[in-house]
């Protein structure tokens, strides 16, 4: 297990596998087979993969601990960057194909439609994380600060779920599912952090004479 | 359009033309030899007495799109789900429509009897969904008032409520879909009696595919698509405005009237524009300006004079 996890090829495989959704949708485009409403279809398709990759990314650390496989962390950055990659495609489809890059129309949508506002916030929140995902940035920021910054990812994932929740008409099963997954991941993190905290020191002020 | 007068056409007489296979069943059929096709959906030719183009100069949308991209929540909430799931539904035969409520002569009709009430004609209508996409469809049917007249509404009848067939064994549950079933829609009496309000039995020269509301549906071209209820099996005349599914689910988003209105936005998207499906580069759809009453204002605006349509959306 740990051998597979530390192999260079696993990473290469995961990289190629993560491009499969893109390859799939591009091949459907070439077959002129993007359903009756192609823009809607590819918007939904890329949105789905953004939220899935966010969940994969967030699942890495809990899985690492539960399975006792520290090597899993090697894949976290790539998964996170794929979440951002599909998120950017999702945004580009909306802005270029749906809104024809009309700044006025786009701005109005962002201000007026809550689900767009929230989606936009999620993607903007992920941007500094994508930029600082390199080893160089970890060094520059110092691990503690870097780690603190990257906790934003939970907020972004929550915004992603809210975005999805706001945009469905009445069938909330899928946003509910992502909400439940995210809650479970957060509860896990919280329990771990509670356990890890050192016992509170006895607070006896120095020099107090009883 | 070839127009053949056939007043005695019975729904059950029409000849099955073709068995449509969806991809999955085709695979199952070709892969597993000797396995009978389950629930093959049949389309049958329907001849019409006349054809009217009420879609203007606009191109009729392809049948593949109209039967492949549907909102029919009983068969799934994704746009492709109904085309996948509805063909497996075996439409009950005989199909009956129970008509009652505030009427002198409540009666249950079967489809053969309904088909005899008036000559079946083709009408090309524009169809605008509340989700800002639109299509142009050659429907087959006749004005709903031909049926409604039969039961003699009383003076108390002010609204008409319609129910969609519901079978929990093969359809989504209300909890899954998020809206109550059986699906209900409603019209004001004058809207229901309006000549444009079509009782539809077919499209593209054939009976309706299940996902398009077989075997009997309404088509109300000046209202958002969800008002045009599918697979109707119950019609009730009532005194007060009925509680209809979407209007009850989200009153701020979907009104009872739901007349196409480019000025009144849905909270989550603009209604000023629509995407005409199947046209433009690579079939990606072209943006069009949405027109008040979907362009049928000349015929229907009179029913709403003096009403604030921003409030009564
Ligand atoms: C991290 C950020 C985001 C995530 C995780 C996300 C996720 C999703 C998901 C899961 C869907 C629904 C897919 C489906 O129904 O199958 C969706 C739809 C959509 N998203 Fe996003 N999204 C994000 C950011 C954005 C941004 C920045 C925009 C535009 C500014 C946007 C615009 C849309 C639109 C227009 C839809 C389709 C809505 C509809 O059909 O009613 N999203 N998104």
pLDDT digits (tens, 9 = 90+) for A145-163: 999 999 999 999 999 999 9
pLDDT score recorded for residue B171: 96
Rounded CA-CA distance A168/A178 in Å is: 13
Q: How confident is the model at residue B252 (pLDDT cuts 50, 70, 90)?
A: confident
Q: Is the distance from CB of B196 to CB of B127 less than 8 angstroms?
A: no
ipTM above 0.95 for this complex: no
pLDDT tens-digit readout, A111-132: 999 999 999 999 999 999 999 9
pLDDT score recorded for residue B37: 39
In a domain, B88, yes or no: yes
**Contact (CB<8Å) B285/A167:** no
| Nearest chain B alpha carbon to A31 | B282
In a domain, B312, yes or no: no
Q: Is the distance from CB of A126 to CB of A153 less than 8 angstroms?
A: yes
Looking at per-residue pLDDT, the higher value among A58 and A169 belongs to A58
Rounded CA-CA distance B226/B71 in Å is: 8
Rounded CA-CA distance A206/A54 in Å is: 48
In a domain, B269, yes or no: yes
Rounded CA-CA distance B29/B240 in Å is: 51
Rounded CA-CA distance A49/A60 in Å is: 17
Rounded CA-CA distance B143/B228 in Å is: 13
Identify the bridge partners of residue B48 per DSSP, sorted by sequence position. none
**Range list of H helices, chain B:** 23-31, 63-66, 81-85, 111-115, 145-148, 174-177, 189-193, 245-249, 297-300
Q: How confident is the model at residue B57 (pLDDT cuts 50, 70, 90)?
A: confident
Cβ contacts of B104 within 8 Å, gap of 6 or more: B151, B152, B153, B154
Q: Is the distance from CB of A41 to CB of A29 less than 8 angstroms?
A: no
CB pairs under 8 A between A and B: 56
pLDDT score recorded for residue B36: 36
In a domain, B54, yes or no: yes
Q: How confident is the model at residue B4 (pLDDT cuts 50, 70, 90)?
A: very low
Taking CA atoms only, the protein residue closest to ligand 1 atom 8 is: A47
**Contact (CB<8Å) A38/B283:** yes
pLDDT score recorded for residue B26: 37
Rounded CA-CA distance A173/A157 in Å is: 17
Cis peptide before B215 (omega within 30 of 0): yes
As a whole number, the mean pLDDT across chain B is 88
pLDDT of A189 strictly over 80:
yes
Mean pLDDT over residues B131-142, rounded? 97
Rounded CA-CA distance A114/A116 in Å is: 5
Give the structural domain span for B175. Answer: 49-304
Angle at A18 between CA A15 and CA A23, to 5 degrees: 115
Domains of chain B: total: 1
Rounded CA-CA distance A67/A90 in Å is: 33
Rounded CA-CA distance B113/B11 in Å is: 9
pLDDT score recorded for residue B268: 85
Cβ contacts of B58 within 8 Å, gap of 6 or more: B126, B136, B276
| Nearest chain B alpha carbon to A28 | B282
| Residue-range domain boundaries for chain A | 2-189
Taking CA atoms only, the protein residue closest to ligand 1 atom 13 is: A44
Residues of A in contact with B249 (CB under 8 A): 170
In a domain, B2, yes or no: no
* CATH number for the domain harbouring residue B78: 3.90.420.10
CB neighbours of residue A176 within 10 Å: 14
Centroid of ligand 1 to alpha carbon of A194 (angstroms): 34
């Amino acid at each position: 297990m740990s051998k597979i996890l530390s192999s260079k090829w696993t990473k290469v495989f995961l990289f190629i596998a993560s491009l499969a959704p893109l390859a799939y949708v591009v091949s459907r485009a070439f077959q002129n087979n993007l359903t009756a409403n192609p823009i809607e279809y590819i918007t939904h398709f890329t949105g789905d993969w953004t939220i899935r990759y966010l969940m994969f990314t967030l699942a890495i650390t809990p899985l690492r601990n539960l399975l006792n496989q520290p090597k899993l962390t090697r894949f976290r950055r790539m998964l996170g960057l794929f979440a951002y990659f599909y998120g950017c495609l999702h945004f580009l489809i909306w802005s270029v194909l749906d809104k024809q890059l009309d700044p006025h129309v786009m701005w109005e949508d962002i201000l007026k439609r809550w689900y767009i506002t929230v989606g936009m916030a999620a993607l903007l929140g992920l941007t500094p994380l994508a930029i600082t995902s390199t080893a160089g940035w970890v060094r520059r920021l110092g691990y503690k600060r870097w780690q603190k910054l990257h906790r934003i990812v939970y907020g972004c994932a929550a915004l992603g779920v809210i975005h999805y929740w706001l945009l469905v008409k009445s069938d909330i099963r899928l946003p509910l599912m992502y909400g439940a997954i995210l809650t479970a991941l957060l509860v896990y993190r919280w329990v771990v952090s509670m356990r890890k905290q050192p016992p509170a020191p006895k607070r006896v002020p120095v020099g107090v004479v009883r | 359009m070839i127009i053949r007068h056939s007043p005695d056409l019975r729904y059950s007489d029409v000849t099955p033309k073709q068995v449509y296979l969806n991809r999955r069943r085709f695979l199952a059929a070709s892969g597993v030899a000797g396995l009978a096709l389950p629930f093959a959906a049949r389309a049958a030719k329907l001849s019409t007495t006349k054809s009217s183009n009420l879609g203007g100069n606009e191109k009729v949308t392809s049948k593949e799109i109209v039967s492949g991209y549907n909102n029919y929540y009983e068969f799934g909430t994704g746009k492709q789900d109904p085309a996948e799931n509805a063909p497996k539904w075996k439409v009950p035969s005989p199909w009956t429509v129970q008509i009652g409520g505030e009427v002198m002569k409540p009666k249950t009709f079967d489809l053969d009897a309904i088909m005899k009430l008036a000559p079946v004609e083709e009408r090309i209508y524009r169809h605008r969904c509340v989700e800002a996409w639109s299509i142009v469809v050659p429907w087959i049917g006749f004005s709903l008032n031909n049926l409604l007249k039969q039961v003699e509404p009383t003076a108390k009848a002010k609204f008409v409520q319609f129910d969609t067939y519901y079978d929990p064994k093969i359809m989504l549950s209300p909890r899954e879909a998020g809206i109550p079933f059986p699906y209900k829609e409603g019209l004001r009496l004058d809207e229901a009696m309006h000549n444009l309000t079509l009782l539809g039995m077919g499209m593209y020269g054939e009976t309706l595919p299940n996902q398009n509301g077989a075997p009997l549906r309404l088509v109300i071209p000046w209202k958002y698509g969800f008002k045009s209820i599918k697979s109707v099996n119950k019609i009730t005349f009532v005194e007060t405005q009925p509680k209809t599914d979407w209007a009850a689910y989200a009153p701020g988003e979907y009104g009872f009237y739901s007349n196409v209105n480019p000025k009144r936005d849905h909270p989550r998207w603009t209604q000023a524009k629509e995407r005409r499906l199947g046209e433009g580069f690579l079939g990606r759809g072209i943006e069009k300006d949405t027109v008040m009453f979907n362009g049928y204002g000349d015929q229907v605006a009179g029913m709403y004079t003096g009403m604030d349509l921003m409030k009564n959306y």
